[in-house]
Structure 1
């Protein structure tokens, strides 16, 4: 079992490796070399090894023999995972209604407005968008008050993230507005509306992916 200092280092390595995957610096199909990653992160191999095992457990890395590879998400995988999210996240939003801190909601709204304003001239910061998305969906999961459900949703989201706004940049404005509608419902404690808005948001993501694929 990891001691507290070991666990802290492993989580730091995990966060940094996850960012490399989400940013596209580590691409689907890339083989992960433990020694090389330890050099890149300027860490010893032990926490990096533990972090790689966590990412493998979440399905972001796939093992082929002794090698680990960044998972190549097939569209069928994406649709299956999104279907599970469409079952879980509306119910989670319903549970979170009225339970999310007002300060957290206000901060998310301010960041959404910033993205919408910068998108007018095409200057939207994609890293900021990813951060908002993570904070919003993660915050809703936390506010629902079920840690196991929250962890499951985070894992499912990470598995689909490579198909999100980077694949469908035209979704940026709609996504910000949909996120705002979800926050509005949660802020006023309207669980049914929060569930409906979350469902509409995820359906919009699904429809945009299908539309993009139909043009491919």
Structure 2
């Protein structure tokens, strides 16, 4: 029971710290410490430590010797390289996952994606980033799990986390397109059309790459 409680607290800490990073509340280059995070999140340092190890393993945090952990600063080349590897891996994962994910799970994803499309954006004109990331994680993570290759799933998750730092808060114009592209992927997966699922995934990642390049290279 204590072990399960510890895992649950570590996952809670992980989600909260991840939200702070991808939302920009902890910006790239900032040094973070267990003590400060424990105070901010009102948690003990043990789950914070476990969560930081998870984030370090995903490449979002870089250890700087005795100084502690630093939020990774992603250069343009870093984004492009990570997305290039995702383009090599995730279409094949989608092909393998076609017909392997339960219809119930895919129907739930479709419902949430259509709900996101129909929602009124906030006063700032931005979508609910937490919900968008949840749906993104369920789709891409579900594909990785259903592809039947744990190493592929782990690598894809790590790369997705790194590219999520540059998410819809920086690319609000991608919100509707991303939802529609995800719907195409869901439909192909549900119908068991592996080639179409791979193509839809490849095009989705290409569109993300093009948007990021335009934003990062904009004068």
TM-score, length of structure 1 as denominator length: 0.91
- Does residue 166 of structure 2 align to residue 163 of structure 1? yes
Q: Where does the alignment leave 5 or more consecutive residues of structure 1 unmatched? A: none
For residues 3-61 of structure 1, give each alpha carbon's deviation from its aligned partner in whole angstroms, at most 9, with x where no partner exists. Answer: 55444433332222222212222211221021111122222222222221221222111
Worse-matched range after superposition: 200-209 or 17-26: 17-26
State the distance in 2 between where 1:214 and 1:118 align: 31
SS at match of 1:163: coil
CA pair 213-7 structure 1, distance change in 2 beyond 3 A:
closer
- Does residue 108 of structure 2 align to residue 86 of structure 1? no
- Does residue 65 of structure 2 align to residue 65 of structure 1? yes
SS at match of 1:69: strand
SS at match of 2:87: helix
The equivalent residue for 1:114 is: 115
The equivalent residue for 1:194 is: 197
RMSD: 2.0
Is the CA contact 2:126–2:172 (under 8 Å) kept in the aligned structure 1?
Answer: no
State the distance in 2 between where 1:153 and 1:7 align: 23
Worse-matched range after superposition: 163-172 or 102-111: 163-172
The equivalent residue for 2:97 is: 96
Worse-matched range after superposition: 168-177 or 110-119: 110-119
Matching of residues 1-216 of structure 1 within 5 Å: 3-66=3-66, 67-118=68-119, 122=125, 124-216=127-219
- CA drift of 1:155 comes to 1.0
Worse-matched range after superposition: 128-137 or 84-93: 128-137
State the distance in 2 between where 1:111 and 1:7 align: 28
State the distance in 2 between where 1:192 and 1:119 align: 34
Worse-matched range after superposition: 6-15 or 37-46: 6-15
Worse-matched range after superposition: 165-174 or 97-106: 165-174
Q: Where does the alignment leave 5 or more consecutive residues of structure 2 unmatched? A: none
State the distance in 1 between where 2:16 and 2:127 align: 23
SS at match of 2:165: helix
- CA drift of 1:131 comes to 1.4
TM-score, length of structure 2 as denominator length: 0.90
- CA drift of 1:124 comes to 3.3
State the distance in 2 between where 1:199 and 1:39 align: 42
CA pair 170-98 structure 1, distance change in 2 beyond 3 A:
same
